[in-house]
Structure 1
Amino acid sequence: MIYQRPRLEIPECTWKRPIGLGWDKPYTVRYASNLDDGPWHGMPLGGFGAGCIGRSPRGDFNLWHLNGGEHVFRSLPACQFSVFEQPEDSPAQAYALCTEPPEDGSLSRWQWYPKEGTGDKGLGTGTYHALYPRSWFVYENVFQAELTCEQFSPIWAGNYQETSYPTAVFRWTAYNPTDKPITISIMLTWQNVVGWFTNAIKSPEVRVRDDGSPVYEYQPRWGDSTGNLNQWISDFHRVGCLLDRVRLHDEIGEGEGQLAIATVTNPSLEVFHHSRWDPASDGGDIWDIFACNGTLSDRQDETPAAPGEQIASAIAVRFTLKPGRTRYVPFILCWDFPVMEFGTGDSITKYYRRYTDFFGRNGTNAWSIIRTALKQDDTWRDSIREWQQPILEQQDLPSWFKMALFNELYLLCDGGTLWTAASELDPIGQFGVLECLDYRWYESLDVRLYGSFALAMLWPKLDKAVLEAFARAIPTGDDTPRIIGYNQAQAIRKAANATPHDLGAPNEHPWEKTNYTSYQDCNLWKDLPCDFVLQVYRDFVMTGSTDIQFLGECWDSIVKTLAYVKEFDLDGDGIPENSGAPDQTFDDWRLQGLSAYCGGLWLAALESAIAIGQILAENYPDGEYNTTNYQIWLDQSQSLYQQKLWNGKYYRLDSESGSDIVMADQLCGQFYARWLGLPDIVPVECIQSTLKTVYESCFLKFNNGLLGAANGVKPDGTPFNPNATHPLEVWTGINFGLAAFMVQMGMKDEAFQMTEAVVRQVYDNGLQFRTPEAITAAGTFRASHYLRAMAIWAIYGVLTKF
């Protein structure tokens, strides 16, 4: 008899990998000081700013971003799914669904899932798929039943509520393709980690790393489970374990709260539990009974953990599948750690997370989140599909592009993300994503010039919240002296009216204490003020050109910061000069005099400021929105830019170095001008010639077009200086931004050829879900989990005329 299989709704364009299959030569870090956790990264689970947990393609939960801005990468074996199966008249089998047993010898009684190539008849044992915010484990050639686990969190474009929720849904599908009944039991075990995710060092020392970046030590309270307790909950059809901790005070602090795991019960299901067991043991008290018949002992024990003791909980759902039948079983994981603390010692500041606007702030709402998830999980899943499906159905987009387009959004969850509760000043809350985990400060403005396209297109209210934070920061000053890592000079932290580089770091007070990085003196950067103006006008245009209030809130800061950067126009020719130091986003690359990169941004920013001023003047006739100076500067600058930098094929790097380097991103300002519907800053024929030269020199002639476009090489593709850093790196986000520019100018085929090369570098070499800033021809990378790579959404924006 032939039975109809359930239709697995896994899109064709997922990133996929055989379960447990390692990498022969994954890319490694360029500098030993950079973070390199290895390639076992999977899609993160959890809402924006709620903290997240990652599960790898081998099945273990190993990434723990439950403390805002802090990173822990460590497998916790007791946090695991396991499956028992017994076909009628056949022996039973049971596996914990990770292909690697614990390295410390714990849980030695457990049977671990076989790796790729060890399944029935030597076939693969399944496939991991990811298309953020959904991922799937498809188990094959081990069990007789066909099993799939779909994972997701309630994240979709334009949603500002559920997208913040600290929860993950695991939707299990079991199908019986045989002619005999099969009994199946699915078990979820979870270790009580309440209290672990806060810095045990309350006043960590800040030091300067060997690359000049400030860093501080983060030491989580890993394993500190004293006072933790587990409670079995039976709530109508909802059942599960609540993981809590004895509280010694009323006020909740960072890392305090609850977790919960849960499922549903009905007359056709049997649910078993074991609320307290020792995950540091051999695991026999759980495994022996589960592997025997798929049950648990139904033990309830709420005894708090003693010093040095670890505790975990378990729930199992058992059912029998008749031939040809399918069953769906949901499991929910959630956590409620409502407080984020910033600063050190006596100057600690607390914020509540965004999801507390909907579930309360006392850290006792994990079960309320469970109830919501079990009620809404199907609706959430449908909402995600409705958002993704129109893009997935576009036949003119290659599968690899659609895969990367969605998967690069992982950073909005994984990037040390902050999202605070709403306030009168910030009605959507304050938001922030780290530049990366190596450069641990929020919303670097030069980087988000590219990387924020995703946020601006999909969650524009959050992007505006970030820019409003920059607008508030621009007038402020901080005269605290510090040493600049690049050259050991002394400089103040933040000059009044200078646009800050970033919105601060987790060990201080984000949004209030800005310019955390001290590698360069960012008060001297020529691109940051322009970046701010361009992003403000971009968000206005992209949200229908109706949010006049947003422009008004930013106008005073636009005026102040453009006046500030104009002071660097020492010869009065209308364009601020670069100083010969790395005073822009390529902060190891010296530019001298008028530069193509900063000069182009300046021209586009002036056009934007003129447009903004005119809009405000039309809507607020009594206000002061004089743009006369901006028009004068633009008229001066535009002809000078062309005269001094155009060499007949492309724009020179700068006006004074004499370099013939072809800079890949030389016309970023022009890309922005056309995106914003502003007049071109240079002639069209010069744009086309420049892009053709960049494509040939920086991409095709650099490593035969296999890596992507290098930041800057000679016209023949060779390096000006073989020992240079930034010029010879392939920056993922710059490539995506450049590709968007090429599509904008009718070079779609070339753009997609270059973009595919970069995407392959990331997703074929163990860099998935930790996309770096830079890749080299030597198979190394720098700065993983990087913000700029979300610029891939700019390509989609140009294609769809967003």
Structure 2
Amino acid sequence: MCSENSRIGEVMAKFVKVRFRGFKNIASCVKYEYGEAKSGVPLGGLGTGSVVLGSDGSFSASTLRNNIRDRWNPRGSFFAIYTSSGGKSQCKVLGNYLYDPPLQELSYIFDPSLKSETRIQSLEYYGHYPMVDIKFEVEPVIVNMQAFTPFIPGDSKNSGIPAAIFYFDVKNVGGSPCEVSIAFSWGNDIPSQGKQLNRFQSKDGIRGLFYTAEGTRDSYALIYLGDAELTYLASWNPYTSGTGFLPAFSKEGRLPNVASSEDVDYRSPAGALAAKTSLKPDETKTLCFVLAWYFPNLADSSGAFLGHMYSNWFSDAWDVARYVAENLDSLYKRTVAWQDEIYGSDLPYWLKDALINSLYSLARNTFWIKDGRFGHSESFVSCPIMETIVCRFYGSIPMAMMFPDIEFNVMYQFAKHQRDDGAIPFALGRPEFFDRPYYEVQKSINSSEFVLMACRDYLWTGDKEFLDRIYPHVKKAVYYAKTLDTDNDHVVNEVSMQYYDCWRFYGTSTYVGTIWLACLKAAEKLAQIKGDKTFAENCKKWFNAGLKSFEEKLWNGEYYSLYNEPETGRASDTCLGNQLVGQWYAYLIGLGEFLPKDHIISVIKAVKRLNVAATKYGVVNGVKPNGKIDYESHGHHSDSITIGESFCYAATCIYAGEKDLGLEVAKKTYENIALNQKTPWNITWNISPVDGSLRWGTEYYSNMVVWTLYHALTGKLFSHKQ
């Protein structure tokens, strides 16, 4: 990374150009110093659970045990590095959760020589989900660690492996030969009333530690791959000085080869491996560890069994580790390949980072259960609802590009739960249910958005089987949505909340209206493909009538007013930042322009004058014609920047020919996240227009909509046939 021999601590820009191990192209990535990022890359795949590897080198916020909200900072889980050269040796710890309380508060339990500087506190951190590169120095060795979980567009199975791989490239930059040892310790936190057991074993061509517990099938495996000298310690107490991991490791970089924890009388024993090698001056070697996990008894919110998809493929964590070891070269190269493609493109540097890292939500918010169903929560932590359709309308774009099999899977679930009257549910269940759909929430847009996603998925894949299965549900959804036109103007009315669910609109609104008009264009397109002439003609007729009413009620000469209800006199001339949302989706899925082009351009300029000008950090949702922010909503929905909506406006600008404006808006939106807030792996739903600070929502699903910018700029889909 950077200059291979560059010393830690050099002053560098936040966005830097680096060359990561295994990559052909130079990457554009944000460099964080020690502990600087407020979030970290989650190591985990599709529906596997994950553990965060943070910018201080610590493991934290683990959900590996199916604890999706009660997240756990795994005790006794960290790396240690030993070096020896010229008669001088030292031992350092990478990470902060060696103990609870943190390591620095208990440094007295170590060898006295380790008191003052036990932890590595100077490093460079580069996150690019599902990979993390960390560079640090323990004299005379520079260490480049690269951790990753397999993630391969077009290969959902190999993107759903419950494992993480850790490469350590160690280089001797001193003038004398040296010894270096890397130790990896992991705590046995398997929930059990019985005994937790760690044991060292050499089996199935791999060697390492296997962690189990009585009365459960749960397990971990920690293995080393390579020919370095391997020593092990199956048990040490991460809560007290106990048998003492560091006192043993710090002497010679070796562990005492204790093969089992069977005789210990404490809970949650940690186990460790140490791989030791020698280096000539200027020599580099690689040490590799694999951590695998297996917690097959995932349950829904009632406690009913759901299971994990990965339990259909593997029998335990050792089996997972064996599979990874046997297929590591392919898994690694294919994970690198899609990122390398992005880094090698002519996309803006900041967008490359935004695209790659947006996918972290797939590790933090997804279930892939034993019977094959997949679900992406709106946010397991802040708004736990399984597959909120109004969030997947935005956030499912990269899934439709990269994993169409899973995208179809979710769409079939919505189709299965379609009500007899044609209504599409708002979600599959709340909080973690796949079979408790509900319908009345945001029903003004649910069915229309289902139609748009169905059209997108077919047009992007050409999968005839999918179209044949989904088309009857599309027709029913359109007929149902049409019943929500309560004033007979051929535009769906505000009969419920919509996406801004703390900001009430009335009558005909620009947000709901454009989504409905786009829905009719999508339904007409699918009807034409199916040869359903009558339905296609009806959709066209309804669209023409609806567009006429929409223009008459909402166009004010510069932009579309927020809403208008002539029957009651309720109306708002607030300018909505993403008022062209339906037109944006039509651009995205190839349906062209259905609003007058001069109106599209006028709206883009009005939003620039009002909503963009009102902040330095994106697009404010609601702004009055006089330039004042609209504060009429609850929950800051009108007076905030919704991050995904800013990306949508930016993409609409690009589609409509205003590329520079679109890129300017998207850039400052993402730079606030990555550079100011330092939360690229925990992007909220909305932020303050005053200072860009985070307002509400944790790890939000909908923000993967940033992938619309890839499509807007390239005119292509990101390949799912790698």
- Report the TM-score when normalising by structure 1: 0.81
Partner SS state of residue 605, structure 2? helix
Q: CA–CA distance in 1 between the matches of 2:510 and 2:209?
A: 60
2:602 alignment partner AA: S
1:47 alignment partner AA: G
Match of 2:11 in 1: none
Question: Given the alignment of the two structures, is residue 659 of structure 1 paired with residue 572 of structure 2, yes or no?
Answer: yes
Q: CA–CA distance in 2 between the matches of 1:114 and 1:127?
A: 18
Distance 1:686 1:160, change over 3 A: same
Partner SS state of residue 669, structure 1? helix
- Of 392, 396, 410, the residue aligned with 1:466 is 410
**How far 1:555 sits from its partner (Å)?**
2.4
Match of 1:321 in 2: 279
- Of 637, 651, 654, the residue aligned with 1:743 is 654
Map 1:530-679 onto structure 2 (within 5 A): 530-543=448-461, 546-579=462-495, 583-617=497-531, 626-656=535-565, 657-679=570-592
**How far 1:148 sits from its partner (Å)?**
1.1
Partner SS state of residue 749, structure 1? helix
Question: Given the alignment of the two structures, is residue 227 of structure 1 paired with residue 185 of structure 2, yes or no?
Answer: no
Match of 1:219 in 2: none
**How far 1:687 sits from its partner (Å)?**
0.4
Match of 2:694 in 1: 780
1:753 alignment partner AA: E
Q: CA–CA distance in 2 between the matches of 1:136 and 1:313?
A: 24
Match of 2:296 in 1: 338
CA contact (8 A) 1:106 1:279 kept: no
- Of 368, 383, 389, the residue aligned with 1:445 is 389
Q: CA–CA distance in 2 between the matches of 1:584 and 1:532?
A: 14
Question: Given the alignment of the two structures, is residue 172 of structure 1 paired with residue 184 of structure 2, yes or no?
Answer: no
**How far 1:378 sits from its partner (Å)?**
2.6
Match of 2:369 in 1: 420
CA contact (8 A) 1:644 1:655 kept: yes
**How far 1:103 sits from its partner (Å)?**
4.6
CA contact (8 A) 1:194 1:225 kept: no
Match of 1:28 in 2: none
Match of 1:721 in 2: 631
1:409 alignment partner AA: L
Match of 1:213 in 2: none
Partner SS state of residue 305, structure 2? strand
Q: CA–CA distance in 2 between the matches of 1:553 and 1:304?
A: 58
Q: CA–CA distance in 1 between the matches of 2:4 and 2:445?
A: 60
- Of 405, 409, 425, the residue aligned with 1:500 is 425
Question: Which sits farther off after the overlay, 706-715 or 350-359?
Answer: 350-359
Q: CA–CA distance in 2 between the matches of 1:746 and 1:129?
A: 34
Q: CA–CA distance in 2 between the matches of 1:497 and 1:578?
A: 18
CA contact (8 A) 1:97 1:112 kept: no
Partner SS state of residue 651, structure 1? coil
1:51-104, Cα deviation, whole Å (9 max, x unpaired) = 1111111111111122557223443341011001111x2321001112576452
Match of 1:525 in 2: 443
Match of 2:29 in 1: 14
Distance 1:65 1:515, change over 3 A: farther
CA contact (8 A) 1:660 1:714 kept: yes
Q: CA–CA distance in 2 between the matches of 1:447 and 1:469?
A: 16
Question: Given the alignment of the two structures, is residue 258 of structure 1 paired with residue 213 of structure 2, yes or no?
Answer: no
Q: CA–CA distance in 2 between the matches of 1:603 and 1:637?
A: 7
Match of 1:692 in 2: 605
- The unaligned stretches of length 5 or more in structure 2 are 7-18, 717-722
**How far 1:631 sits from its partner (Å)?**
2.8
Question: Given the alignment of the two structures, is residue 760 of structure 1 paired with residue 671 of structure 2, yes or no?
Answer: yes
- Of 324, 334, 354, the residue aligned with 1:383 is 334
1:762-789, Cα deviation, whole Å (9 max, x unpaired) = 1121323110000012523200100111
- % of aligned pairs identical? 26
Q: CA–CA distance in 2 between the matches of 1:735 and 1:659?
A: 21
Distance 1:740 1:8, change over 3 A: closer
**How far 1:560 sits from its partner (Å)?**
2.4
Question: Which sits farther off after the overlay, 711-720 or 285-294?
Answer: 711-720
1:750 alignment partner AA: L
Partner SS state of residue 235, structure 2? strand
Question: Which sits farther off after the overlay, 12-21 or 726-735?
Answer: 12-21
Q: CA–CA distance in 1 between the matches of 2:403 and 2:633?
A: 41
Match of 2:707 in 1: 793
Question: Given the alignment of the two structures, is residue 351 of structure 1 paired with residue 306 of structure 2, yes or no?
Answer: yes
Partner SS state of residue 261, structure 1? strand
Match of 1:29 in 2: none
Distance 1:314 1:694, change over 3 A: same
- Report the TM-score when normalising by structure 2: 0.90
**How far 1:677 sits from its partner (Å)?**
2.7
Q: CA–CA distance in 1 between the matches of 2:597 and 2:709?
A: 20
1:657-677, Cα deviation, whole Å (9 max, x unpaired) = 332211011111111223333
Partner SS state of residue 351, structure 1? coil
- The unaligned stretches of length 5 or more in structure 1 are 23-38, 196-223, 423-428, 477-495, 619-623
- Give the number of aligned pairs: 684
- Of 258, 268, 280, the residue aligned with 2:239 is 280
Partner SS state of residue 770, structure 1? coil
Question: Given the alignment of the two structures, is residue 683 of structure 1 paired with residue 603 of structure 2, yes or no?
Answer: no
Partner SS state of residue 272, structure 2? strand
- Of 148, 154, 161, the residue aligned with 2:157 is 161
Q: CA–CA distance in 1 between the matches of 2:586 and 2:320?
A: 45
Match of 2:621 in 1: 711
> Which of structure 1's runs of 4+ aligned residues deviate more than 4 A?
3-8, 105-108, 110-115
CA contact (8 A) 1:614 1:625 kept: no
Q: CA–CA distance in 1 between the matches of 2:193 and 2:20?
A: 40
Partner SS state of residue 585, structure 1? coil
**How far 1:744 sits from its partner (Å)?**
0.5
1:497 alignment partner AA: G
CA contact (8 A) 2:427 2:437 kept: yes
**How far 1:639 sits from its partner (Å)?**
1.2
**How far 1:559 sits from its partner (Å)?**
2.4
Q: CA–CA distance in 2 between the matches of 1:433 and 1:673?
A: 24
1:353 alignment partner AA: H
- Of 115, 136, 139, the residue aligned with 2:136 is 139
**How far 1:42 sits from its partner (Å)?**
1.0
2:436 alignment partner AA: K
Match of 2:16 in 1: none
Partner SS state of residue 398, structure 2? helix
1:426-457, Cα deviation, whole Å (9 max, x unpaired) = xxx32111101211011111111111111111
Distance 1:292 1:559, change over 3 A: same
Partner SS state of residue 462, structure 1? helix
Q: CA–CA distance in 2 between the matches of 1:652 and 1:46?
A: 44
- Of 633, 641, 645, the residue aligned with 1:734 is 645
Match of 1:109 in 2: 109
Distance 1:688 1:314, change over 3 A: same
Match of 1:187 in 2: 183
Q: CA–CA distance in 2 between the matches of 1:100 and 1:418?
A: 27
Q: CA–CA distance in 2 between the matches of 1:20 and 1:112?
A: 21
